[in-house]
Chain A
Amino acid sequence: MQRRTTLSRPMSLAFISPAFLLVALFLIYPFFSIFSMSFTNQALTGAAARNPQYVGLDNYANLFDVDTWMTRGEFGSSLWITTQFVFGSALIGQAGLGMLIALLFFRRRDLVRHVVYTLAIVAWITPDVVIGFAWFAFLDPTQGTLNNILSIFGVPAQDWLLQYPLLSVIVFNTWRGTAFSMLLFTSALNSISPSYLETSQVIGASRWQQFRDILFPMLQTTIATDLILITLWTFNTFTPYLLTGGGPSYQTELMSIYTYRIGLQRFEFGRGSAVAVTVMLINLLLASIYLFISRTRKTR
């Protein structure tokens, strides 16, 4: 049977056109324009602004220069910091903690669950600037809540952002983003038919066996989906900038912050575009994996 349509083709095109225009201008055009810009020395001011020169692969050669690229504040160093950040805060932190919370409160509807879920969601939706300041106060070496609490247990005061900058932003971002994984895993767990678990209980399976043999296999695609999405988001997040500014001495300079410094503070558009191209290609790779997973899942 042919699908009924209530819109003629020209009419539906007209309905789509405003969206198409904006998406073309602010998503598709930027994606392609950075490729050509990354082969030039375009800048905002100076001679290169009026008359940008074609420089071939110079910008890329500069980024991937083996001698300097692992120096602090350079491209490779930033990529390595970002990798640790994604592993620590997204894959281990957010997904791990999210799964822990979802399992801990599985089939429970009590006050503790309600409080944990509400607080995690508040941490997730409060605007960036406010969160940045909250953590700045929380980690303050002399007056911060964290040191005040630790001193009760006899732990001496630490200057967290100076002594453990990367660890601090990893914990910060775990705190910030766990709610998404938590909610995603919770809704996936709730969609599993209770009869599976009841049957396994009757035959005497332990909790760990239940998780390993029933819950985990059924959650596999949800977990894969979650990991790819939070990797993508964590890879691009700029929020830690509000806590550390990328410092001290570039130790928390994630790719997003590095791109910002080169392309949007120093306005070296050519080099900034080369960085942006690399970032977007990594994004594209992650997004393709996501697409692949959700496609195979649908056809199953």
Chain B
Amino acid sequence: MAKENLAMIVGKDQVSDAEQILSAYGSDESFVSPGLPAYVVKVKTAQQVQQIINYAKEKRMPVIPVSSPGGPRLRGDTIASQGGMILDLSGMDRILNVDRMDKIAVIEPGVTFDQLEQALRQKGLRAFKPLLPRRTKSVLASYLEREPVVVPRDHWDAIDPLVTMEVIFGTGDLFRTGSASSPPADLQKQLDAGLRQCFAAGPGSTSLSRVVQGSQGTMGVVTWGSVICGILPEIDNTWFLTAATPEPLIDLSYQLSRRRLGEEHFLVNAFQFATMMADKGEIAALAEKLPAWILTVKLTAGGMLPEEQMAYQEKDLRELAQARGVELKSAVMGISGKALAELLDNPPEEFYKMKHRGAFQDIFFTTTLDKTPGHVAVMEEVVRHHYPSNEIGIYLQPMVQGSSCHCEFNLAYDPTDRAKTSNLKALYLDAGAKLAGNEAFFSRPYGPWADLVYGKNGEATALLKRVKKMLDPEGILNPGRLCF
């Protein structure tokens, strides 16, 4: 009966209960327990989303929104732990507007980084991307998950690069946030009037987009969003700064953030760099030869007097590096800055973290850059005797213009080796607990990390539950996630 009702909303061909289809959503790369949905429902319009939510509300049927058109899915946040339906938004893949002057685009949830990047380049713009996203990753899903972008200079606030959104809450209400909420309601008419959906806060004395962001689909379903973009540079030069320990590079990173020098910059250890750059089977060998820590800085120039702009930036960067006894390099172990820049612009088909052993777990949290050596020490202690410490990939991404930092540990493993997988699972849980005890802030609490954070902060958790009740009174949106 449910299948017929759902088919009446989206069409018969867009609803499936075939086991083969359902099983594709039943599990993912995380340690979250598998769970099979009853249906996969593909939608094309906001109106359909609204009708589906109203139907699910009436039937108390879980709805798990999924936007990316393909896997691998990584975090367990799209597993139907309590059954219900996968609401597949990947068919909503239109780019509704790109504006060069205001450097902003309006996109639907199924738009991938690949797709957006192509559209932006035609207008002289570029997307703000996380580090080597998988090619099928939904841009809006990435931004809604607060995945860090490699451009700390332009990351002013945690909500960036997301600006405004159209969202359908668990109540079934359609809402617009920020300046997208202003009349006229018709998006095209807004654009024709010169409005660009470029202001994130509000409307009024709430900014519900902040509540939707980071909610793992538990508060509402986003049907389009505006996202800020960067200007495609005329000249770009990517430089490496290397050191045996992270401290001098951390110091440099702070200086880069303070001066807003360099468009992209991030810090990785040798194994992370090798995992990004080497072919399968050559990762460990390359990692051994690389400097222990590598700070990547991409300088860009464009607009008026680009050569002069690049020249002063390079001189300033060189001076900063020299003052700290760090050499500026255009290549490390034969890998040029240009090669890395090209890779960052065009991520490979295979998701890079899968390359080394076929599977991985990453442990990530928010902290400040100066605290990261302490977190690295905790991690090394946790893995002692359980995992080769020289095979931990470490990625440090300054965020919010350097005021905080995404700290990530990547652990590759062979999923066919049950003993090692089980060992890694225990290590994963242990590391999370110990890092949380060391002031790591699991701001994106996937899977078991939710218990780590929500148990610690009772009043904010109670407040969050009341917000959930307001936006999703029947609790239909992705139940079993976070603290709901």
Decide whether A and B are members of one complex: no
Binding site for A on B (CB under 8 A): none
